[in-house]
A and B are shown apart, each in its own frame.
Chain A
């Protein structure tokens, strides 16, 4: 069965500092992995996706993530945090033997950016 674990329900960084949000996955088949961001009172917006091409994936707003099979990880990073990055971030995995596409989400990480 597919699942993801997000380490740290809250992360605080200073403006301009490195952002690192952790995600580990469990999957019985080669996974497809996604990061979504949710701003207050809004839906989920896709940041980036890993679908078995390059292991380093670049997304929108300067975010990127690296797929590491040996560590079953897909951590999200951004070199320099901006105030507008404050939001909740969700890691998700999809894909099983049937090819079903429903997403299994982590519990989310709320990012606070300190001025």
Chain B
């Protein structure tokens, strides 16, 4: 158990809809990361938050947004969903967010778009 909790585990929805994925980091970790894992793109970094502030941005679409709340949990919002958004979305956390710190991953949310 990594200590990172993601909900829900599975999400099935239709094109054009909007969903919210939730992540609770390990106790004491200030930094949260979101990654997308798909068959064609592999594991790709989406966005990082540190103590409530956006820290780094990767290949995140404009239809996607995220935030980190004062209690340090984070949400990833995906809107105007397309078939290609079907993927496994992982949240990870680390203590300070600096390069030498390993990230600890949750079990992911599997998103299926019908």
Contact = CB atoms under 8 A, between A and B. Distances in A.
**Chain A partners chain B:** yes
Where chain A touches its partner, the secondary structure class is: loop
Interface of A: 32, 34, 36, 41-46, 49, 51-52, 90, 94-96, 98-108
Most buried by B among A46, A52, A95, A100: A100
Contact of B33 (A90, A102, A104): A102
Given A43-B108, A90-B43, A102-B48, 10 more contacts: A32-B99, A36-B105, A43-B2, A43-B105, A45-B105, A52-B100, A100-B99, A101-B48, A103-B92, A108-B42
Contacts of A105: 42-44
A101 B4 CA distance: 17
Nearest 8 A-B pairs (CB), nearest first? Answer: A95-B99, A105-B43, A43-B105, A51-B100, A44-B105, A102-B45, A43-B107, A100-B56
Contacts, number: 65
Contacts of B92: 44, 103
B106 interface: yes
Contacts of A34: 102
Contacts of B33: 101-103
A99 B42 contact: no
B90 A44 contact: yes
B45 A104 contact: yes
